[in-house]
Structure 1
Amino acid sequence: MFTQSPARKWAYFLALSIIWGSSYILLKKGLESFSYLAAATIRLVSAGLVFLPFGLAYFRKIPSGKWPLVVLSGLLSSLIPSYLFSLSQEHIQSSTAGILLAITPSFTFLSALFFVRKTYSSLQILGLFLGLFCSITLSLLSSTGLNLSINGYVFLVVIATLCYGININLVKQYLADVPPLHLSTVSVTLNGLIAFLFVYLPNQQLFQFTPDTINACLALVTLGVVGTALAQVLHVKLIYSSSPLFASAITYLIPVVAIFWGILDNESFTIIHFMACLGILASVYLIRQEANQIA
């Protein structure tokens, strides 16, 4: 079992909040020059290249019986969500996408009840549903963030958060005996190879690398190296050293960072956004008590 001091757990928590909260504006910049398919692929391949030497070294250290779960964890934690978020952000604001990530703890909670019969306190449940309510409210905003209307693309984010919630419990319950660095580097490397072989090679016409696309490409590479590769290592360490609920609670602070970048990029920020953020911060306060229960 891998344990960390409480201070280090909170350091992982805050670092990931900043990194992942900044991911949405980077993806937005990348989508200015590339399609959602190309943007997600550049992100995944960049992350895979960074971890390739480590991933190859750790391939044989993964227990043979764990390989199906390691592959599944990689798909749920990065590959599937990367394409879902890219497609959704062609139609919704980057800040709204970040805010919707707060649904993740609700799916973490539900999957924990279903798979491992884990229970939580009434205050934690209240915090989870408060965050979920605020996220649903935000999902009714149009792509411009100015009018209330149903935007179907937000459901892609919901599916991505479902993937995150299931993966957190999967890692905690069934992959706890695999060292965090081994799991994260192998998963990221595999995702990069899958994206390269099955998306890039058959669709090379989508990847037009010209002087006009340099800034967008740099944004996506940064997203891949920092927001996917480095963040994956930190997140796995956080999962191993805490409980699933605490690890998923990071998605309550990510929206705050995403909104900050959105405002700087002239995205709309209405009273509905503001009230939802207050609700999300209140849910963080309620769920924080769980930190005291971490072994």
Structure 2
Amino acid sequence: MQQTEAPPLKAWLLLLLLALIWGSSFILIKKGLIAFRPDQLAAIRIASAGFFLLPFLMQRFKTVRRHHWPKLISVGLVGSFIPAFLFAFAQTQLASGVTGVLNTFTPLATLIIGVLVFRQMVAMQQWVGVLIGLAGTFVLITASASGELQFNSFALLIIVATICYGINLNLIKHHIPDLGALTITGVSLFLVAPPALIYLLVATPFIEQLGTQPDVVFSLGAILVLGIVGTAMALVIFNTVVKMTDTTFTSSVTYLIPIVALILGVIDGEPFLIEHAIGMAAILVGVFIANRRARKPRVAPTV
């Protein structure tokens, strides 16, 4: 057993970098959907991410043992493959900024799964911080120019995706502690990249669209940036932070993501209301409380 410590400065810097990268992902999805269907976008994203990391994995495959493979396949599916499709379909009916806001359900899903499945202990202040952040999220989700509450059923796709992220976070932290971040990210993505590529080429008119679809170069470029930078490179950073800190701290990146997503959405013409400012302020307060170092150190659980 070991005592919990305040997250180091390096962890905070990586967290902010992740917020910038992933906060930009929603506007990239929006641009990718100009020329491609949501299933195509997701397939291109996963395939480009998985094959991009392949050259860096040749020696790391040797560190993967037989018992690792089912876990890495699970990480690839619940941490990347399934959420990529869910986000792409959801954003056909949701603004990029709102999608980024909905992503803040991840910390709550992570906490609940960690407590119920992995018997993880959490401090009361973490629950308080998460709830404050979720309150800010509620303000952002329900904000509208008409002043009326609004709900879009496509938002449920994002909730399912965040549950996948919660499962993935706990899986990496508690069941794959002996593999490095690049190995986990690269191998798990590579395992799901071939099915994504096969689906793209066989089940969709992707090749035909390359020569006929307007804005195809622009949209394809946006999706490739999304896959290579927003998925492959970002997940390496993400898994590094998971191993440096705890799952609650790492999942708090989703509190910062909507701020970036909303700002980019405004630049792209999406509305910004006073409720957005109030919601973002509450989210930042929630992040501070959830990750503030307690006066008395707590004992971390052993699993």
In the alignment, is the contact (CA less than 8 A) between 1:55 and 1:189 conserved in 2?
Answer: no
1:203 corresponds to 2:206:
no
Percent same amino acid at aligned positions? 35
CA-atom RMSD, angstroms? Answer: 2.5
1:155-205 alpha-carbon deviations (Å, 9 max, x no partner): 1010111111111111000001112111111112122112112x2132231
Which residue is equivalent to 1:285?
A: 288
How far 1:279 moved relative to its partner?
1.5
Q: Distance in 1 between matches of 2:290 and 2:275?
A: 22
TM-score, normalising length: structure 1: 0.91
Local SS of the residue matching 1:12: helix
Which residue is equivalent to 1:100?
A: 102
Q: Distance in 1 between matches of 2:219 and 2:97?
A: 18
How far 1:36 moved relative to its partner?
0.3
Q: Distance in 1 between matches of 2:242 and 2:203?
A: 35
Q: Distance in 2 between matches of 1:131 and 1:31?
A: 30
In the alignment, is the contact (CA less than 8 A) between 2:83 and 2:161 conserved in 1?
Answer: yes
Q: Which has the larger radius of gyration?
A: 2
* Corresponding letter in the other structure for 1:263: V
1:173 corresponds to 2:174:
yes
Counterpart pick for 1:28 among 20, 27, 30: 30
How far 1:135 moved relative to its partner?
2.7
In the alignment, is the contact (CA less than 8 A) between 1:101 and 1:251 conserved in 2?
Answer: yes
Structure 1: tracts of 5 or more residues without a match: none
How far 1:58 moved relative to its partner?
2.8
* Corresponding letter in the other structure for 1:171: I
Q: Distance in 1 between matches of 2:106 and 2:49?
A: 23
How many residues are aligned here?
A: 292
* Corresponding letter in the other structure for 2:120: K
1:8-40 alpha-carbon deviations (Å, 9 max, x no partner): 212211111110011111111001111101111
Which residue is equivalent to 1:159?
A: 160
Counterpart pick for 1:248 among 247, 251, 254: 251
1:7 corresponds to 2:6:
no
Q: Distance in 2 between matches of 1:241 and 1:119?
A: 18
Correspondences of 1:8-157 after superposition (within 5 Å): 8-140=10-142, 147-157=148-158
Local SS of the residue matching 2:205: helix
Structure 2: tracts of 5 or more residues without a match: 1-6
In the alignment, is the contact (CA less than 8 A) between 2:29 and 2:222 conserved in 1?
Answer: yes
Distance 1:230 1:117, change over 3 A: same
* Corresponding letter in the other structure for 1:170: L
Correspondences of 1:249-264 after superposition (within 5 Å): 249-264=252-267
